Amino acid sequence: MSPIDAIDIRTSLPGPRAKALLEREQTWLSQNYVKDYPLVVERAVGTTLIDVDGNRFLDFAAGIAVCATGHCHPQVVAAIQSQAERLLHLCAIDFSYPHVIDLAERLAAVAPGPTRKKVYFANSGAEAVETAIKLARLRTGRQKVVGFFGAFHGRTMGAVSLTASKAVQRRGYAPFLPEVHHTHYATCYRCPVNRHPDTCSIDCLDLLEETLFSTIAPPDEIAAIVVEPILGEGGYHVPKREFLERLATIAGDHGILLVADEVQTGFGRTGRLFACEHFGIEPDIMVLAKGIASGMPISAVVAKEEIMQWRSGGHGSTFGGNPVSCAAAMATLDLLEGGLIDNAADMGTHLLAGLRELQSRHRVIGDVRGLGLMIAVDLVKDRETREPDHELLDRVLHRAFEKGLALLGCGTSCIRIAPPLVVTKAEADAAIAILDSVLSGT
Ligand SMILES: Cc1ncc(COP(=O)(O)O)c(C=O)c1O
C-alpha cells in the first residue's frame, strides 16, 4: 500500500504504453541524456504526475526545480489561457507591450538590495548566463570571467565554459570561451582545501585571492565572478555566509562585477524569493530562469541600472519576454508572495528534520544539507572517508520510482529533494517513508 492516496502504481513499470513510447523515443529523439528511470508522463497536477498507463507518482523533482507552483496551477493556467487569446508574440526588441514592462518593474522591485535595477528577458538559464557574461565584459571593458569548480551554468558555449560540474558536460566540446578561470567553492562537506568548517576562515577563497590573482588572472582584468549562491547541480552545497560576503568584498574591492546565478535557487525555492537574501548580498547582476513562470520558458537578467547599459542593437532575442510567459510569471509571483515562499521554508524545515532522522538510522547517508526545498541527501560508501556512492544513488532513484516517488540526483551521489513549493506535510512524510523503505532494502 502506498503511504498517500496520490501514489497509485497499477502496472509493472514501465507500463505497456510507456514501453511503446520509449521505443519510439529511442528512434526519433536525440539520445543526449540517459534517463534515471522510464517515466512517461501524460499529465500532471500539483505534486502528482500521471503516466500514460494511469500510474500516479509523487513528484519531488518538479521538472528540475522548475514547477514552483506545482503542475498546472489553476491560476497560472488561467493567466496563460487568457493571455494566449490576446497576444502570443510580438518581439520585445522591436515593439512594446505592457506584459514585459509589468514583469520587469515587478522583478526590479523585488530584486535584493537597495540599488535601482533594470531587467532583460531571454528564454533559458544558459541564454541569461550568456547575457550576463556579455554585459559584464561590455560594462567593465575587461575579458576574464571567474567561475567555480562544481558549478553549473548551462550548456551553450559561453555558459558551458563556466560550467565545471561534470567532465561529460565539457568533454569533446573544446575550445571553450577564452579567459574563463575556475576556483574553489565552499563545498564544506568535502572541503577542497581540507579544513574543518568550525575552524576554517574561508580558506577555499585563497586559491582565488592568493594564487589566481597573482598568477594567471590579475583582478584588474576580471570582468565578473559568476557564482551560484547555493551550488545546485554540483550537490546542493549551502556555503557559509562568510564565503559569499568575502566574495562580494573581493569583487567590490577590484571593480569586478558579482553575478549571482539564481536560476535554480530563485523564486522561493530556498524559503526566500532569492537565495542572496539569506546571505545579505546584493549582486551587480542576477540571472533568473527555472521557477520564474512555473514551467513556461522565460529567463531574466536583473542588473543594477548603471550596469544594464547596452549599445543599441548590441544584444537581443526574438522570443525573450514572450507575453504568455510573462503572464505565467506574474501569476507565479502572485502565488509565491501569497504563501508559497513561506510554505517552502516550513516544508524545508520539516523535510530536513525528517531526513536527518533517517540519517541517524541509515549509515549510507553521509550528509543531509540544504535550505528550504533545495535539499541534498548525500550517499556515501563510508561515513569516515565520505566517498560518494554513485551506484547506490542510481539504485535508490530507481527503487523510489518503482514505489511511486519521482526524484532526481545531483552532485555525484546526492538524492535531490526539490518538490514543487505547494508540497504538503503529508506528502513530505510520504516521501521520507518511501526513502526509508528504499534505503532499508539496499
Ligand atoms: C544554476 C543554473 N544555471 C543555469 C542553468 C541552465 O539553465 P537552462 O537549462 O534553462 O539553460 C541551470 C540548469 O540547471 C542551473 O541550475
Q: 148 forms bridges with which residues in the sheet?
A: 183
Residue of 288, 327, 16 whose CA lies nearest to 129: 288
**Torsion of the alpha carbons at 356, 420, 340 and 131, rounded to the nearest 10:** 110
How far is CA 431 from each of CA 115, 210, 221, 350, 408, rounded to the nearest angstrom? 41, 45, 48, 12, 13
For the cut 90, the answer to whether the pLDDT of residue 5 exceeds it is: no
Band (pLDDT 50/70/90 cuts) for residue 157 is: very high
Q: State the amino acid at position 288 in one-letter form.
A: L
CA–centroid distance, residue 163 to ligand 1 (Å): 10
Domains annotated for the chain, with CATH where assigned, are 76-335 (3.40.640.10)
Cell numbers at residue 350, please? 520539516
Closest ligand 1 atom to Cα of 261 = 1
Closest ligand 1 atom to Cα of 155 = 11
The arithmetic mean of pLDDT across residues 230-259, rounded, is 98
- 303-315: per-residue pLDDT in tens? 999 999 999 999 9
- 393-434: per-residue pLDDT in tens? 999 999 999 999 999 999 999 999 999 999 999 999 999 999
| CB-ligand 1 contact for 151 (6 Å cutoff) | no
- From 228, 264, 299, the mutation candidate for ligand 1 (largest count of ligand atoms within 8 A of CB) is 264
| CB-ligand 1 contact for 126 (6 Å cutoff) | yes
CA–centroid distance, residue 145 to ligand 1 (Å): 18
Mean pLDDT of the chain: 97
CA–centroid distance, residue 17 to ligand 1 (Å): 31
166 compared with 4, residue with greater pLDDT: 166
CA–centroid distance, residue 49 to ligand 1 (Å): 23
Q: Is the Cβ–Cβ distance between 194 and 204 less than 8 Å? A: no
CA–centroid distance, residue 232 to ligand 1 (Å): 9
Closest ligand 1 atom to Cα of 64 = 14
Band (pLDDT 50/70/90 cuts) for residue 132 is: very high
Closest ligand 1 atom to Cα of 156 = 11
| CB-ligand 1 contact for 124 (6 Å cutoff) | yes
CA–centroid distance, residue 128 to ligand 1 (Å): 9
Q: What is the pLDDT of residue 415?
A: 98
Band (pLDDT 50/70/90 cuts) for residue 2 is: low
Q: What is the pLDDT of residue 1?
A: 45
- From 133, 152, 270, the mutation candidate for ligand 1 (largest count of ligand atoms within 8 A of CB) is 152
Q: What is the pLDDT of residue 170?
A: 96
Nearest CA to ligand 1 atom 3: 153
| CB-ligand 1 contact for 266 (6 Å cutoff) | no
Q: What is the pLDDT of residue 406?
A: 98
Band (pLDDT 50/70/90 cuts) for residue 3 is: low
Closest ligand 1 atom to Cα of 290 = 10
- From 123, 290, 410, the mutation candidate for ligand 1 (largest count of ligand atoms within 8 A of CB) is 290
Estimate the crossing angle of helix 425-440 against helix 390-402, to 10 degrees: 120
Q: Is the Cβ–Cβ distance between 9 and 404 less than 8 Å? A: yes
How far is CA 134 from each of CA 138, 155, 206, 252, 399, rounded to the nearest angstrom? 6, 16, 27, 19, 44
Percent of the chain surpassing pLDDT 70: 99
Q: 277 forms bridges with which residues in the sheet?
A: none
pTM of the complete model? 0.97
CA–centroid distance, residue 85 to ligand 1 (Å): 30
Q: Is the Cβ–Cβ distance between 35 and 262 less than 8 Å? A: no
Nearest CA to ligand 1 atom 8: 125
| CB-ligand 1 contact for 51 (6 Å cutoff) | no
Band (pLDDT 50/70/90 cuts) for residue 130 is: very high
User: Residue holding cell 509493472?
Assistant: 12
Residue 215 contacts by C-beta under 8 Å, 6 or more apart in sequence? none
Band (pLDDT 50/70/90 cuts) for residue 383 is: very high
The arithmetic mean of pLDDT across residues 211-226, rounded, is 98
Q: What is the pLDDT of residue 442?
A: 74
| CB-ligand 1 contact for 233 (6 Å cutoff) | yes
| CB-ligand 1 contact for 335 (6 Å cutoff) | no
